Structure 1
């Protein structure tokens, strides 16, 4: 097996990462509700970033997660949370985590 085949096989075996961007009502406990949903379903979150937006009544939460067969269901359940306004999916190359990873290298 040549080096190219090994690299292709390794890429296929490694789960892809995805960034979920949530816009939520900003109040005490909202982060706990969101990550609690993932925790109760044993779905690992690789990274979390949360910042207030505008006047602080809304926050944006970015979650770095592994892409697997359960992700679609997880997104549907997150969208049902009372304080979640919107959910957007981005590729793992989303700038928010890419810049943080550069900082910690």
Structure 2
């Protein structure tokens, strides 16, 4: 039987993080260690150059609150916002591929 993905379970975590080497590695490492799946990542530097905005698309509804708690603990994560049902940034990228 083929598994199907529940689109309505997709959430996007929008983070503002410090912009320096290793931040992406720390965030992805947390997801890897906890066996959380990331379905999409977009990261761009903000105008100040000191911070970046990162969007993580996840389909882990039953683990989402725990993911948020763990990400908040990372010292380079300045803010985190949850968007249920996806986010326009991934919709725009989807048009390009």
TM-score, with normalisation over the residues of structure 1?
0.82
Question: How far 1:95 sits from its partner (Å)?
Answer: 0.9
Residue 98 (structure 1) aligns with: 91
Aligned residues: 93
Residue 54 (structure 2) aligns with: 61
Residue 38 (structure 1) aligns with: 31
Alignment of 1:65-80 (within 5 A): 65-80=58-73
List, as ranges, runs of 4+ consecutive aligned residues in structure 1 with deviation greater than 2 Å: none
Would the aligned equivalents of 1:23 and 1:87 in 2 still touch at CA under 8 Å? Answer: yes
Question: How far 1:99 sits from its partner (Å)?
Answer: 0.5
Q: Does 1:89 align with 2:82?
A: yes
RMSD of aligned Cα (Å): 1.6
Instruction: Supply the distance in 2 between the matched residues of 1:93 and 1:45 (Cα, whole angstroms).
Output: 13
- List alignment gaps of at least 5 residues for structure 1: 1-10
Would the aligned equivalents of 2:57 and 2:86 in 1 still touch at CA under 8 Å? Answer: no
With a CA cutoff of 8 Å and minimum separation of 6, indicate the structure with the bigger relative contact order.
2
Question: How far 1:92 sits from its partner (Å)?
Answer: 3.2
- List alignment gaps of at least 5 residues for structure 2: none
TM-score, with normalisation over the residues of structure 2?
0.88
